[in-house]
A and B are shown apart, each in its own frame.
Chain A
Amino acid sequence: MSDAKALIELEHITKRFKSLTAVNGVNLAVHPGEKLVIIGPSGSGKSTLLRSINFLEEIDDGVIRFEGNEVGYVRRHGKLHLDRQQVVCQLRAEIGMVFQHFHLFPHMTVLGNVMEGPLTVQRKSADEAREIALAMLAKVGLTDKKDVYPATLSGGQKQRVAIARAIAMRPKLMLFDEPTSALDPELVGEVFDTIHALADEGMTMIIVTHHMGFARELADRVIFMEGGNFLAEGTPQEFFAEGMNNERIRSFLNRIL
């Protein structure tokens, strides 16, 4: 059932924490350029799924294919184990991730943060890394903040720097885990616009969010997740129309909106 055209393909991904099954045998294929929005109540396994895609969680079962190749795991004694560090790091370098709480490196300037990936991971020269970083900062509109430390930035600015830091690696896939949930409402817009601009450039992305604006304006496909399973899936139009017929989705949307 492998989908040859998919950028990333998940097959029967399962992740358990002790007795709790956070992700329960999920299947998913994301095509190049596709924008996928995942919504669902808190604790439904959205973060765990994103982190599994980035190998930040070691899955218990399933297959991850990247550009058609099965990647990231070796099977020993019938159990899955993450592959060698070098392999996993290379995969992660191709997938950008933006966190709810930014996680900027506080001891580096804004420019230093954005340079860090190209410099340390891709081993580019300092000049080259700086050039890339400046281009990324221009893209998120924070060139004038390049020499300050993250502590001096607003939440929205921090998240834009985090986005610049991720895209400086020129990833093939971007993962956003509730990128606007920690922001004051008036700062959501600037981050949303930044992500929107990135989407317009054709970036493939998976976004976990409670911000229905993302889903409506940006998504090619919306997935509703609950209890570690995908309960519903469709284009935004289908989703918001038919979702109202599903009791659980309707109650979730009513709570959110």
Chain B
Amino acid sequence: MSLKPNTLGRVATALLFLWITVATALAAEADYDALFREANDLMGAGDLPAAVEVLKKVPAPKAGEEGDAFVRSRMQIAKLHFAAKEMDEALAATREVLALYPDNSEAKNFLASVEREQKPRYVSFLQDCLKFLPVLLKGAVMTLLLVVCTMLISPLGGLLVALGRISTFKPLSILCWFIIWLFRGTPLLLQLFFIYYGLPSLGITLKPITAAVIGLGLNYSAYLGEIIRGAIQSIDHGQTEAAKALGMTYGQTMRRVVIPQTYKRLMPPIGNEFIALIKDTALVSTIAMVELMRAADQMFNTYFNVTALVLAAVIYLIFTTFFTFLFERIEHRAGIYERR
């Protein structure tokens, strides 16, 4: 059993801790005061192996005897070894204590941290994952819910806004222009703040999730509105003429002829918007929504452990990758009639 001289540097922090422990405990342990003092002096002189040897002289208590000094000595030994990264020795000293006092909480906590130190990095990483994942997955479900809600609402909202924009009924057209102008021209974060924190002053109080869905829905309806309008107007006017010549109404022309032809053109830009949406949902963490970003932030702030952030990034990547593939498949399907 030895303390290597080159590990002394790392011992320095442990020493400070030891000085305090030793100083406060001295009074109660009159019998072994001399031993502890000797060990202290040796530590002060930097001869840690000698200090360990001295501390070892504190004997195990016999039946009925009080064992505080013994526990203290063994824990000091364990900490000296721990600081020198001599884990087996540190464990041995700790187990001496636990053999006599299985419920000693200092020894138990110390054992846990030694075991943690001893494990390969990937094991402790996996354990972190297990610790964070339940919370993060709960957040991810909320993120997914927000994404899916917005993906359902915004194409419909966008279509309405787009049809309104190209309507020949001026007031409607101007209203839809205004909606697009407003929601594309201000930050989503500001819109969310306004809906959640601002509307209550107008007497409208919304739950965070309602505010989040409304905010994301309106914002993305405005963006998709412009995209859909562009796609509708890009369809050859001859298509409208042919539909009208058959006797179709405006509604039938849109529904049966024009809008179905926009699908393929719409998929790439809408796919882009929806990938941005997945990431934009992180903004709703600012209005008291616990979604993936907020969950990761909480874990990180509680444990100061980067693993939480890495895991969140991985979940976001899984979402964006999945949706990217999904949109590509839909685009492929939507354009099936163009292949010769």
Contact = CB atoms under 8 A, between A and B. Distances in A.
Interface string B212-244: 000000000000000000000000101101111
A81 B252 CA distance: 22
Contacts of B340: 151-152
A120 B40 CA distance: 97
Interface string B311-340: 000000000000000000000000011111
B260 interface: yes
Given A120-B252, A120-B256, A152-B340, A105 B247 contact: no
A89 B241 contact: no
Given A116-B256, A151-B340, A152-B340, A103 B242 contact: yes
Q: Is the interface of B mostly helix, strand, loop or mixed?
A: helix
Contacts of A105: 239, 242-243, 257, 261
Contact of A117 (B236, B247, B250, B339): B247
Nearest to A89: B247
B247 A90 contact: yes
Nearest to A85: B249
B83 to A, nearest CB: 74
A94 B245 CA distance: 9
B246 A116 contact: yes
B252 A99 contact: no
A165 B337 CA distance: 18
Given A106-B261, A151-B338, A152-B340, A121 B248 contact: yes
A169 B246 contact: yes
Contacts of A145: none
Interface residues of A, number: 32
B337 A54 contact: no
A121 B246 contact: yes
Interface string A67-105: 000000000000000000110011011111101010111
A18 interface: no
Contact of A103 (B236, B252, B339): B236
Contacts of B246: 92-93, 116-117, 120-121, 165-166, 169
Interface in A118-149: 120-121, 149
A116 B252 CA distance: 11
B98 to A, nearest CB: 76
Contacts of B238: 99, 101, 103
A90, A92, A120 — which one has the most chain B CB atoms within 10 A of its CB?
Answer: A120
A100 to B, nearest CB: 9
Contacts of B243: 105
B339 A151 contact: yes
Given A92-B247, A107-B260, A99 B338 contact: no
A56 interface: yes
B256 A103 contact: no
Contacts of B242: 97, 99, 103-105, 162
Given A85-B249, A86-B249, A120-B252, A56 B244 contact: yes
Contacts of A149: 336-339
Contact of A121 (B239, B252, B261): B252
A89 to B, nearest CB: 5
Contact of B248 (A97, A107, A120, A165): A120
A90 to B, nearest CB: 7
A54 B245 contact: yes
A129 B183 CA distance: 45
Given A106-B338, A149-B337, A151-B339, A96 B245 contact: yes
Contacts of A104: 242
Contact of A89 (B248, B337, B338): B248
A106 B337 contact: yes
B241, B250, B256, B337 — which one has the most chain A CB atoms within 10 A of its CB?
Answer: B337
A149 B336 CA distance: 9
A132 to B, nearest CB: 13
Nearest to A162: B242
Contacts of A56: 241, 244-245
A89 B249 contact: yes
A86 B236 CA distance: 24
Interface string A48-72: 0000001010000000000000000
Interface string B39-69: 0000000000000000000000000000000
Given A103-B238, A106-B338, A150-B337, 6 more contacts: A99-B238, A116-B256, A149-B337, A151-B338, A166-B245, A169-B246
29 contacts: A56-B245, A86-B249, A90-B247, A94-B247, A97-B245, A99-B238, A99-B242, A101-B238, A103-B236, A103-B241, A103-B242, A104-B242, A105-B239, A105-B242, A105-B257, A105-B261, A106-B338, A107-B260, A108-B337, A117-B246, A121-B246, A149-B338, A149-B339, A150-B337, A151-B337, A152-B340, A162-B242, A166-B245, A169-B247
